[in-house]
Structures are given as C-alpha cells and as structure tokens.
Structure 1
Amino acid sequence: MESKRQQKFAGVIQEELAQIFQREGGTFLPNTLVTITRVRMSPDLSVAKVYLSFFNTTNTALSINTVNAHNGEIRYKLGARIRHQARVVPELTFFVDDTNEYVERMDSLFEKIAKEPKQKEEEEQEDSE
C-alpha cells in the first residue's frame, strides 16, 4: 500500500515524464507514441518503477530496450524539471505495461464464450424441429 506521499510524488514523476516523452521522445523512438500508464515509488522515493505503453510500434521489446538505453538522458531531463520539488531524483526503471494486450485477449475470450452458447441453442432448436 503506497502512502499519500508516494502517490503524490509518483503523480509528479508521471506528469513530468509524460511531457518529456511527448516533446523529446521522438528523437530516440521516432513515429512511436509512448504513454506512461503508471508510476510506483519506493517508500524512500529513491526508485520509480515506470510502466510504459507503446502505440504504433511492432516490437515493444526493442522500444523498451531503447528507452532503457536512454535512461540516463531521461533521468537528467527529469531532474532539471523537478529540481525544486525533490531533493533526490529517483532512479528510473522502465517496464512494458501490457494491460491493453490483456484486455484485448480477455475481450476476445468473452466474445468466443458468448458465441458458443448461441451456436448450441441454434443446434438444439434445429434438432427439435
């Protein structure tokens, strides 16, 4: 359970990183939209787990590796933006947020399940006629 302090600081980090990726993310991820879906802070606010979602890319593994390769540059830019709000710029660890893929997979499963009973009902109606 995150404290209010962790949640507030995570919100600040998420907002600032979103602006960084929006303005300058095209330099290392051209034609890719990066969304920061969630930020989780450690209790001492020294480590931020940043969950990213990528749109308009075919290889998310390559995209996350590219972001990790530019981790120092992103952390430096973040530090320049939050220098008056935080004593220490947190270490950033980036992860792929696969929530959208999970939702799509579950939707397709539910659609598949919803179609099966209809097919059985239709067969039963045909058999009774």
Structure 2
Amino acid sequence: MPKHQQKGSSSASAQRQLRVGEIMRHALAEILSQGGVHDPVLETNLITVPEVRMSPDLKLATVYVMPLGGRNTELVLKALATNKGFLRTEAARRVNLKFAPDLRFRIDERFDEAERIEKLLRTPAVQRDLKTDSDEN
C-alpha cells in the first residue's frame, strides 16, 4: 500500500466519486434541458440523465441517458457523441474540478429491465407460486 494512501481512504474516494457523479449529472441534465446544444436531434428529443458514474481518478464520466419514450436511442447517442466536446466544456464551466472528465454516453437500460421483471412477476405461473407460498404460511 502506498504511503500516501490512508486506511479508509477507498470509502472516501468512493463517496467523492458518487458526489462528483451527481454534480455532473445535474450539470449535464441542465445543459440538455435548456437547449444549450445546437443539434436538431438533441433539440427535438427530451433526454433524461438518470446517472453519471465517475472513474476513481475522476477523469472519465460514464453518462447514462434515456430519451423520453425510449425512442431514437441510437440517433441520440450519435448526437451526444458528436457534441461531446461542447458538453464536456460546458459541464466543466459549471463543475469545479481540476480536470474536465472525458464523457462516454450509454443508454440506461434499467427502465427496460424493471419493466421486464414487472411483466415476469405478473405471469400466471409466478402468481400461482406466490399464492401457493402465501397459503402455506
């Protein structure tokens, strides 16, 4: 273990990652919602930013996005990648960090996964199993 790293610093580092990720999320969501990016795809699609995950060194931000209604995801990802430099610069102006993190955009699939699980829980077989389990208690 290096001398400069103290015991418990990994949890402090993780807390900082979470905190900076949330600040970046707010900044990017604000930029996208205010129409600050002059791109026809980004101007015509409402985009939510549910999460931003920061690397431990805070130099890379993985930005999870979801266009409203889940439509045009590939088009939106391409537009975000095209405007990555502007978004990075604009976010850096709003967030006080030593380095402006590089941005990587990904589609947030948690909503689809939650919907899939919800449908699965409503299937007759699962309902029957749940009813059987509750009858035994």
List runs of 5+ in structure 2 lacking aligned partners: 1-10, 129-137
Percent identity of paired positions between Structure 1 and Structure 2: 29
Counterpart CA distance in 2 for 1:99 and 1:37 is 10
- In structure 1, the partner of 2:62 is 49
8 A contact 1:18–1:35 mirrored in 2: yes
Q: 1:107-126 CA distances to partner (integer Å, 9 max, x unpaired)? A: 22222236874xxxxxxxxx
TM-score norm. by structure 2 comes to: 0.74
| RMSD over aligned Cα atoms | 2.3
What's the CA shift for 1:27? 3.6
Q: Tell me which amino acid in the other structure corresponds to 1:110.
A: L
Q: Tell me which amino acid in the other structure corresponds to 1:48.
A: A
- The secondary structure found in structure 2 opposite 1:24 is coil
Aligned counterpart for 1:21 among listed residues 9, 29, 32: 32
- The secondary structure found in structure 2 opposite 1:36 is strand
What's the CA shift for 1:104? 1.4
TM-score norm. by structure 1 comes to: 0.78
Aligned counterpart for 1:100 among listed residues 106, 111, 114: 111
The number of residues matched between the two structures is 116
Alpha-carbon spacing, 1:99–1:56, altered in 2? closer, same or farther (3 Å): same
User: Which structure has the greater CA radius of gyration?
Assistant: 1
**Larger deviation: 10-19 or 107-116?**
107-116
